[in-house]
Structure 1
Amino acid sequence: MLKVYGLKNCDTCRKALNWLQSENIEHQFLDIRKDGFSESDLNRWLSVLDHEQLINRRGTSWRKIDPSIQESLSEVNAASLVMSEPALMKRPIFDDGKKLVLCGFRNEQQDILKSL
């Protein structure tokens, strides 16, 4: 089953969940703050997406991060940063538990999800 990771108060996540329901795509929503996610999930997401795709550099969580940490962000320290501050991830994350990992909710992600 498709798992959707996000924040319940995120407008993009709510839009994605409504769209999934209207398209009759079976899914399970997991709030990254309340329900969490595993380090192995995060490592798989990073292996598919790359840390540059996964980190939301336009959000308030990013702006709260110390500038020296922002400048030194790399593949090596991205996982520990996201584990300590989950809201840094772009949302939603779509994960089928196998090979499919998508980040965000634009037309290209919708097209892929429709083909499931």
Structure 2
Amino acid sequence: MTGPVLYGIPNCDTVKRALAWLEDRGIEHRFHDFKKGGVPADRMDYWIAALGWEALLNRQGTTWRKLDDAVKAGVTDAASARAAMTAHVSLIRRPVVEWPSGEITVGFTHDSFKQHTREALM
């Protein structure tokens, strides 16, 4: 892999900002659309192992708020969070970024992307 791989949903504002940031700087990258390509099971397991399920689960968004209270109460560990995020891909915080260094980040900030792309150029 020469550039980062971004996983997310194309109509997500944060994903749009992250993609625009990379494109504006001419940084090679690949985008994986959760809605079209689903969530790769092996990647989900890898992200949970690397970051913890709490870092991936978006409890602030509309999708979480619309879930039945019993479903929300049932998300108590990695297995239940994985099942919920697989069933409702919008529950995954985004973008999830796999950097060429092997590091994984969630979300977008200018500083984080600057740091990771600077490392890739070294």
In the alignment, does 2:95 pair up with 1:81? no
Equivalent in 52, 56, 59 of residue 57 of structure 1:
59
Deviates more, 1:97-106 or 1:72-81: 97-106
Q: Which runs of 5+ in 1 are unaligned?
A: none
Post-superposition shift, 1:3? 1.2
* Amino acid in structure 1 at the alignment position of 2:97: F
- d(CA) in 2 for partners of 1:9, 1:72: 28
Deviates more, 1:56-65 or 1:104-113: 104-113
- State which structure, 1 or 2, has the greater radius of gyration over its C-alpha atoms: 2
Matches within 5 A, 1:18-33: 18-33=20-35
Cα separation, partners in 2 of 1:46 and 1:97, compared to 1, 3 Å: farther
Post-superposition shift, 1:12? 0.7
Post-superposition shift, 1:97? 7.4
Q: Secondary structure at the match of 1:29?
A: strand
The equivalent of 2:74 in structure 1 is 72
Equivalent in 113, 116, 121 of residue 113 of structure 1:
116
Structure 1 segments of 4 or more deviating over 3 A? none
- d(CA) in 2 for partners of 1:113, 1:98: 8
- d(CA) in 2 for partners of 1:76, 1:14: 29
Cα separation, partners in 2 of 1:52 and 1:7, compared to 1, 3 Å: same
**What TM-score do you get using the length of structure 2 for normalisation?**
0.84
Q: Which runs of 5+ in 2 are unaligned?
A: none
* Amino acid in structure 2 at the alignment position of 1:60: T
Per-residue CA distance 1:48-80 (angstroms, 9 max, x = gap): 111111011111111111222222312121111
- How many pairs are equivalent? 116
The equivalent of 1:10 in structure 2 is 12
* TM-align CA RMSD: 1.8
* % identical equivalent positions: 31
Cα separation, partners in 2 of 1:50 and 1:17, compared to 1, 3 Å: same
Greater helix content: 2
The equivalent of 1:99 in structure 2 is 102
Post-superposition shift, 1:109? 2.7
